[in-house]
Structure 1
Amino acid sequence: MTAPADPRTRAAVLGGGVLALVALVAGLAFSGAAAASAVLDPGALVRWGVPVVQVVADSATAVTLGALALCALVLTPPGRAPTPAHARATPDGAPAPAWRAASRVAVVAAVVWTLALLGRLVLTYARTAGVPLDDPGFGAGFAQFVTEIPLGRSLALATALTAGVAVVSVAVTSMTGAGIAAVLAAIALVPTALTGHAAGSESHELAVSALWVHVVAVSVWAGGLVVLCLVAPRLRDDLPPAATRFSRLVGWCFALVGVSGVVSGAVRLGNLADLATPYGLLLVAKAVLYLLLGLAGWAHRRATLPRVAGDAWRSGPFWRLAAGEVLLMGAVMGVAVALASTQPPTPAQAPAVHSPAHEITGYAVPPVPSPLTWLTQWRPDLLFAVAAVAAVVVYLRWVVRLRRRGDAWPWPRTLSWVLGAVVFAWVTSGGPAVYGQLLFSAHMLAHMLLAMVVPIFFVLGAPLTLAFRALPRRPDGSRGPREWLLTLVHSRVAQFFANPLVAALNFAGSMIVFYYSPLFELALSTHLGHVLMVVHFTLAGYLFANVLIGVDPGPTRPPYPMRLLLLFATMAFHAFFGVAVTQATTLFAADHFAGLGLPWRVDALADQEVGGAIAWGVGEFPTVVLAIAVALSWARHEERTARRDDRRADRDDDAELAAYNARLAELAGRDGG
């Protein structure tokens, strides 16, 4: 038995959509972004159609991601054990169909998202080319736009990826499927981030990362709230726990939206005086609405949720605050699209190029590298900086949770994890990141630290063991962080890559594939390639170190002699790679390094030899550390085995030894006879 949609839900969602359009029209009228162009004006339909279609696309994006996030993290899927409240709410004892309803909403929203992006692609071409939709040459120009122009290719790719999300969403029948679809939806937003404001400025990598984080977090927050309201009548008395879980998720989204919003604003505004421009005023309006949403969410969690009991889905306080949040979300979305359609005061184009290195990398050449500049030069990467901070915060919260209930956690493990996060942040945002695009040796140093030093710190921190002890279980069949970690650890994909032989082959072999293929130059020339490189080599190093010295559940670890053999064999291959790089007579990524023209008069080939020496030499220290750690673990294992055997001997009066001596006596008697 399913409950019909509550009238208040329809009113709130419809009101949010209307308010988004009103805010959009007001913002465009204020900034003049939709005003007619003096040259090559495509017409009012195109000028107003682009932002209107963008509002539809953004709304559908939010609902898609929000629905998939609810299915993956909040709601209980069909076939799982119902709560007592569910058993009372449905006479046949079956779970209420809130999960199915949310998954169907995701499908519809993904289709609308795809159609809206298709419309945006057509209208964007018309606006960019300055031609009306009924122009005779529209078709030929549009074909050239989507095949040859970077903006057109990015928008076409975004449309194709979103269509893939719609197809995958149709097949979602489980929480795992919902999680996969949600990840694909987040990936589909990458082309959009690459074409946003400031994507071509000197801070383009920071701007792209900030925009992507911003859009994903806002979408999960806004879309999840809308979908939660839509399925609330089907949740009935299970609404309070679902709303509480979603509130925790919103807390993380609120923090990410705030950080990414500040970074995006700083990139696009030259100084505080730019806040008085139309773009700056719209940005201020969006920030005010964001703070109001944060206050509403805080009130929701502190005051409303504890009062939502009994016939929860009819609770007046819940609906009043939820409807208010939906309306505010609509206003925020309208202002956001108007903001995106308005030219920021800081030009999106890169500043005047003063050197070949500036032209190739997009950044001004830093000072001559020295021990001091390696520590003082920073180029923050929002994705990895947020990941490092979140890793420390979450880990420390788990440790505090254990200690509050009286459980101990070794402080050396905590220190190791924090040091790993600090080194990771420095490598991805500090000196190695700044000089890594200019010097092969600096890049190789960063690579070695990511693949061989940071993973050791992380593995010694035993994060999975801590998580399984600190995170609460979900008794109703839904998946929280603990359940998702268990699912990932025991998945076939994770088991395959955690296999000792596969981990070793991936750790050593991927270096050959990376440096002796176009992947290396792709990682140097594109932000997405760089992000994938960092993620891959950090994970590869973690999986390999976890096989050797880890205590977390997951891989079936080989005996200790085999571990040492695997370590030395892999490191020998690694040393061979370093020697090969040192003796190479041609440049890796020659088009990149040979054309930099650095003012420090760097011999690129000589610097590459230094990089090879780093690959060879820097790997020796982590190898020794790993070997010592394996040896110590082996010794502790033998000591524990000996103590266990001694205790067993004490219990059974050394029955095993007595049986062995009796067998020897029997054999001796046979020989004597």
Structure 2
Amino acid sequence: MLRVVRIAGPATLVVVAFVALLTGLAIGGGAAPQLLEDPGEVVRYGLPIAKLLVNLSAAGMIGAIGLALFAIPPASPSFTRSLDVAAASAALFTIASALTGFFSYLSVTARALSFDDSFSQGLGQFLTQIELGQAWLATTLIGAVVTVLCFAVRNLTALLFVGVLAVVALVPMAQQGHAAGTDGHDAAVAALGLHLVFAAAWLGGLLVIALLSRGLDTPRLVTVVSRYSSVALVCFIVVAASGYVSAELRIGSLDRLLTPYGLIVLVKVGALVALGLIGAVHRRFVIRKLAGTGRRHHFWWLVVAELGFMGIATGFGAALARTATPIPETVPPEQTAAQILTGEPLPPELTASTFLAQWNFDLIWILVCAFGIVFYLAGVIRLHRRGDRWPWYRSVLWVAGLLMLFYVTNGGLNVYEKYLFSMHMFGHMTLSMAIPVLLVSAGPVTLALRAIKKRDDGTRGFREWILIGVHSKFATVVANPIVAGVLFAASLVAFYYTPLFRWAMENHIGHEWMIVHFLIVGYLFVQALIGIDPVPYKLPYPFRLLLLLATMAFHAFFGLALMEGDGLLLSDWYGATGRDWGPSAIDDQRAGGGIAWSIGEIPTFALALIVAVQWSRSDKKETKRLDRKADRTNEAELGEYNAMLEELARREGRS
């Protein structure tokens, strides 16, 4: 039975995926001959087939590495087999990516294959100078590196970085998908990136479990599948949300669902619903029955059916990438300066009402905030069910911090920070100073270490990975209060006076990096001052106040420099948006300096107050501890001290 499953599961996935791809191409016309400069039938079918192989191999690569990192003991034979699957998948991913790049060149140029110098020179220019070619070249090179590392790396910590690199290999693909026209490009890239990564983890995990079935006895199988099921639930939510955003951007209205693109989307939705139902059956009935009876027959056939529906979704997804969207993706002939720079139309003049009414949703941070609140509250509920206490105000602080993060990354600040430096600086202050005060005070690491169950089978769950991260040498360095203060202060100069600022404004990935950077640097600094989570070293309270004052003095100096400066930062951006309302760009920049200098004082005062309160409580605790010790020893230390004074007095009298 297990041998049949190892063959039937992957075979069903591949066969169904190819059939779905051909059906989707027929429905959407993705392989239809082009009226002008047709590249030929081989290219028209070869390109989507190569992309399908890229998607399937990426799933095997990421799924195998993920299972090795979180579910399979490193000392077991299944761990080695999992990495072998990852290496083979990465090798196929590399070859398929190279073929996709090659077919993309033939499709774009409509050139016939030849072996002369002009063809090779044209291909070289495509791969090194054209954005599409550069993306597939980068994907191919990253896949080759991951292939080598999967053969060479067996250390779990090093394998984590290999997994991160495997995920990074999908980033160029996300940037080359349907752009959803001029408006909504950033949202389209974020949705497609999330869709690719989480769909790969979901599909790849199940595929690798089927391939490793021979080496998994029933107890181990139940454990691995239970862990995978939790990850699959998260993947299902992310894939559904990202798929909805992508469909909304490219379809726009319900009447367009009857177009070829809309019909393919409906098929994918049906496959996703079926997968959700199968996952619910797995979690509620099948895994429990497998653990109780040990019979695998129904479980494995359900796995084969699930892989079949995944094949439908994967095949139609590859066909969807070659299908024309109902909303045209052509650039409008006339664009405003704001659209050229930001990809979005200029928002209305900034007022209190427009600031509250304008929204620019970022799916990544919507999901981060939502999952952060759910997982934190789930941990608190688990503690209460176990009979442990957790202060209620910490939960309030955590929810408030994430709700503030949600608004900063999705609300009016995210709309106007592209056009007003003052709004950008206000968001910076909030991300690096206000939000970390709330999140650090909630003690998320302490809660995770108490709520997440400890593993005893040699695998590393989230609790084990958190402990390794907290006690790592890197964490010891960056969590050092002096280093955290230097990073917090120096990042102002390093960001605003280097090309990083331009990258964050022009590139969506740079924008996401900017948010993460501000949050992490601010979190480390606040943690060094008032944190309750475990850290390698904590400063005495007087030195914490000195560190706070020194860092904020540098912060104020930076704000004053902006207020008094005459040079415009990123002048070809903030000075070229075509904004015909509000202050001039230089006056707005000076207002941003005032925000950096003045508004930053509010979190500074709050931090100083919290440090003072903690200092006072620490002194009271120390006093109570000494009093209890004196009661236990009948004030032995005081008696010894008085005896020492009497002896000194006698010696002085004799002299």
Task: Please indicate the TM-score interval, normalised by the length of the shorter structure.
Answer: over 0.9
Q: Does 1:111 align with 2:112?
A: no
1:143 maps to amino acid: G
The equivalent residue for 2:603 is 622
The partner residue of 2:111 within 122, 131, 144 is: 131
SS of the counterpart of 1:285? helix
The equivalent residue for 1:308 is 290
The partner residue of 2:71 within 66, 69, 74 is: 74
The equivalent residue for 2:22 is 25
- How many Å separate the matches in 1 of 2:72 and 2:331? 46
- How many Å separate the matches in 1 of 2:599 and 2:404? 15
Where does structure 1 differ by over 3 angstroms across 4 or more consecutive aligned residues?
309-312, 349-354
Query: How far does residue 494 in structure 1 lie from its aligned partner after superposition?
Result: 1.6
Query: How far does residue 355 in structure 1 lie from its aligned partner after superposition?
Result: 2.2
The partner residue of 2:373 within 392, 395, 408 is: 392
1:66 maps to amino acid: G
Query: How far does residue 200 in structure 1 lie from its aligned partner after superposition?
Result: 5.2
1:610-666 CA distance string (max 9 Å, x none): 010101001111110000000000000000111111111110101111112222222
The equivalent residue for 2:447 is 466
The equivalent residue for 1:447 is 428
Query: How far does residue 433 in structure 1 lie from its aligned partner after superposition?
Result: 0.8
- How many Å separate the matches in 1 of 2:488 and 2:330? 39
- Label 1:613 to 1:43 Cα distance change in 2 as closer, same or farther (>3 A): same
1:590-619 CA distance string (max 9 Å, x none): 111111120215311111100101010011
Q: Does 1:639 align with 2:636?
A: no
Q: Bigger CA drift: 442-451 or 177-186?
A: 177-186
Q: Does 1:581 align with 2:578?
A: no
- How many Å separate the matches in 2 of 1:232 and 1:669? 86
- How many Å separate the matches in 2 of 1:121 and 1:265? 26
Q: Bigger CA drift: 146-155 or 607-616?
A: 146-155
2:135 touches 2:172 (CA, 8 Å); kept in 1? Answer: yes
2:275 maps to amino acid: L
1:268 touches 1:344 (CA, 8 Å); kept in 2? Answer: yes
- Label 1:668 to 1:200 Cα distance change in 2 as closer, same or farther (>3 A): farther
Q: Does 1:140 align with 2:121?
A: yes
SS of the counterpart of 2:234? helix
1:353 touches 1:359 (CA, 8 Å); kept in 2? Answer: no
1:185-236 CA distance string (max 9 Å, x none): 1122111111101265310111111111111111111000010111122121
2:94 touches 2:143 (CA, 8 Å); kept in 1? Answer: yes
Query: How far does residue 378 in structure 1 lie from its aligned partner after superposition?
Result: 0.5
Which residues of 2 match residues 403-414 of structure 1 at below 5 A? 403-414=384-395
2:430 maps to amino acid: L
Q: Does 1:529 align with 2:529?
A: no
1:40-83 CA distance string (max 9 Å, x none): 111111111001111111100000000011011111111xxxxx
The partner residue of 1:288 within 252, 262, 270 is: 270
- How many Å separate the matches in 1 of 2:582 and 2:593? 20
1:68 touches 1:106 (CA, 8 Å); kept in 2? Answer: yes
- How many Å separate the matches in 2 of 1:123 and 1:138? 13
1:508 touches 1:573 (CA, 8 Å); kept in 2? Answer: yes
SS of the counterpart of 1:308? helix
1:392-418 CA distance string (max 9 Å, x none): 111111111111222221111111111
- How many Å separate the matches in 2 of 1:582 and 1:450? 21
SS of the counterpart of 1:558? coil
Query: How far does residue 5 in structure 1 lie from its aligned partner after superposition?
Result: 7.0
1:67 maps to amino acid: A
The equivalent residue for 2:487 is 506
The partner residue of 1:14 within 5, 11, 18 is: 11
- Structure 1 stretches of 5 or more lacking a match? 79-95
The partner residue of 1:54 within 51, 65, 77 is: 51
2:67 maps to amino acid: L
The partner residue of 1:165 within 140, 146, 150 is: 146
1:276-318 CA distance string (max 9 Å, x none): 0001000000110111111111111212111214894x61011
The equivalent residue for 1:258 is 240
The equivalent residue for 2:405 is 424
Query: How far does residue 496 in structure 1 lie from its aligned partner after superposition?
Result: 1.4
1:211-270 CA distance string (max 9 Å, x none): 111111111110000101111221213111111111111111111111111111101112
Query: How far does residue 668 in structure 1 lie from its aligned partner after superposition?
Result: 2.3
The partner residue of 1:593 within 554, 574, 594 is: 574
- How many Å separate the matches in 1 of 2:620 and 2:255? 69
2:181 touches 2:328 (CA, 8 Å); kept in 1? Answer: no
- How many Å separate the matches in 1 of 2:335 and 2:104? 33
Q: Bigger CA drift: 282-291 or 146-155?
A: 146-155
Q: Does 1:151 align with 2:132?
A: yes
Q: Does 1:41 align with 2:56?
A: no
The equivalent residue for 2:204 is 223
1:296 maps to amino acid: I
Query: How far does residue 354 in structure 1 lie from its aligned partner after superposition?
Result: 4.4
Q: Bigger CA drift: 159-168 or 48-57?
A: 159-168
- How many Å separate the matches in 1 of 2:77 and 2:410? 46
The equivalent residue for 1:547 is 528
1:62 touches 1:219 (CA, 8 Å); kept in 2? Answer: yes
- How many Å separate the matches in 2 of 1:584 and 1:520? 18
Query: How far does residue 134 in structure 1 lie from its aligned partner after superposition?
Result: 2.7
- How many Å separate the matches in 2 of 1:188 and 1:669? 82
The equivalent residue for 1:363 is 344
SS of the counterpart of 2:99? helix
SS of the counterpart of 2:608? helix
2:73 maps to amino acid: T
Query: How far does residue 103 in structure 1 lie from its aligned partner after superposition?
Result: 1.1
1:561 maps to amino acid: P
- How many Å separate the matches in 2 of 1:633 and 1:68? 44
Q: Bigger CA drift: 406-415 or 286-295?
A: 406-415
Query: How far does residue 164 in structure 1 lie from its aligned partner after superposition?
Result: 2.4
- How many Å separate the matches in 2 of 1:544 and 1:166? 38
Query: How far does residue 133 in structure 1 lie from its aligned partner after superposition?
Result: 2.1
- RMSD of equivalent CA atoms: 1.5
- How many Å separate the matches in 2 of 1:662 and 1:353? 94
- How many Å separate the matches in 1 of 2:470 and 2:4? 43
1:112 maps to amino acid: L
- How many Å separate the matches in 1 of 2:142 and 2:2? 31
- How many Å separate the matches in 2 of 1:164 and 1:499? 34
The equivalent residue for 2:415 is 434
- Label 1:352 to 1:441 Cα distance change in 2 as closer, same or farther (>3 A): farther
2:425 touches 2:595 (CA, 8 Å); kept in 1? Answer: yes
Q: Does 1:538 align with 2:547?
A: no
The equivalent residue for 1:245 is 227
1:41 touches 1:130 (CA, 8 Å); kept in 2? Answer: yes
1:108 maps to amino acid: A
The equivalent residue for 1:84 is none
The equivalent residue for 2:329 is 348
1:9 touches 1:323 (CA, 8 Å); kept in 2? Answer: no
- How many Å separate the matches in 1 of 2:157 and 2:290? 30
- How many Å separate the matches in 2 of 1:111 and 1:204? 31
- Structure 2 stretches of 5 or more lacking a match? none
- How many Å separate the matches in 2 of 1:666 and 1:568? 46
2:452 touches 2:462 (CA, 8 Å); kept in 1? Answer: yes
Report how many aligned residue pairs link the two structures.
652
